[in-house]
Amino acid sequence: MWQDHSRDSAKAFFGKGVELVRIQWGVLTMIISIIVDASRVRVLKQAAKEHGSQALEADALHFSSGIWSSSVVVGGLVFVWMGDYFNIPVLKYADPIAALGVALLVIKVSIKLGRETIDVLLDTAPNGMKEMIEMEIGKMPGVLQINEIRIRPSGAVRYITINVGIDPNQSQRTVHTLVHEIRETISMKIPRCDIVVSTYPIEVVRSADTSMEKGIMIYNVKTLNNDY
């Protein structure tokens, strides 16, 4: 597709193009196409967000590229018509320039779709999601340390594993409540996720020296894990 646009543009620039006639019908057709594609994009984006479908999201991006391509072509044809009507020869290059713009747009969209497909195949987590989870958990009382956060997308579901350090003197009921709060908080931020929270005890050892009097605490991390 982009090769055809580039070839036509080169012909027009080097004087081998064809004269455009009845431009108004082409413009009208593409305007109708833009309106139809815009409605498709809106429906596809809503469905992709609702079902977490990468295929629907890619389809919406495809139609979005069609809208931008048609808009660029319409702009080029309008400038060509203005050049003929007002006798401005330089505007005859608007159509080949628009064709080059469409070719570049197609290349850009193709690269974006390729990157998104590779991310899906490699189970790459969305940018900023790990930092967001860490920030939300860090604000919770009872969480002394966050040791590990793992995120693995699989289709529309994201599998999240969280390992946090807690005070070993807390009761089992308190720990269970904390784990439940972590799950609820992350589930509200990230829909369609499966969360596993494991805990490990951190003992706060207080010494009698002067450094402890200043509020400095030493953490003794044990290897015992409890999965919830």
Nearest to 217 by CA among 165, 201, 168, 209: 209
Q: How far apart are CA 87 and CA 78, in angstroms?
A: 14
Indicate whether 98 pLDDT > 50.
yes
Q: Would you say residue 211 has pLDDT above 60?
A: no
Domain ranges of the chain: 2-121, 129-227
Binned at pLDDT 50, 70 and 90, residue 207 comes out as: very low
Do residues 60 and 39 make contact, with C-beta atoms less than 8 angstroms apart? no
Helix, strand, coil percentages (3-state) for the chain, rounded to 5, are 60, 15, 20
Q: Which CATH architecture has domain 129-227?
A: 2-Layer Sandwich (3.30)
Residues 85-100: what's their mean pLDDT?
82
The answer to whether the beta carbons of residues 72 and 100 sit under 8 Å apart is no
pLDDT digit string, tens, across residues 178-206: 999 999 999 999 888 899 999 999 876 55
Q: Each residue of 151-166: pLDDT tens digit?
A: 888 777 889 999 999 9
Asked if residues 196 and 161 have their Cβ atoms less than 8 Å apart, the reply is yes
CA distances from 77 to 63, 81, 124, 177 (A): 21, 6, 42, 65
Q: Is the pLDDT of residue 32 over 80?
A: yes
User: Which pLDDT belongs to residue 228?
Assistant: 54
Distance (Å, rounded) from C-alpha 80 to C-alpha 11?
16
pLDDT at residue 8, rounded to an integer: 52
Report the predicted TM-score, pTM, of the whole model to 2 decimal places. 0.55
DSSP state for residue 192 in the 8-state scheme: S
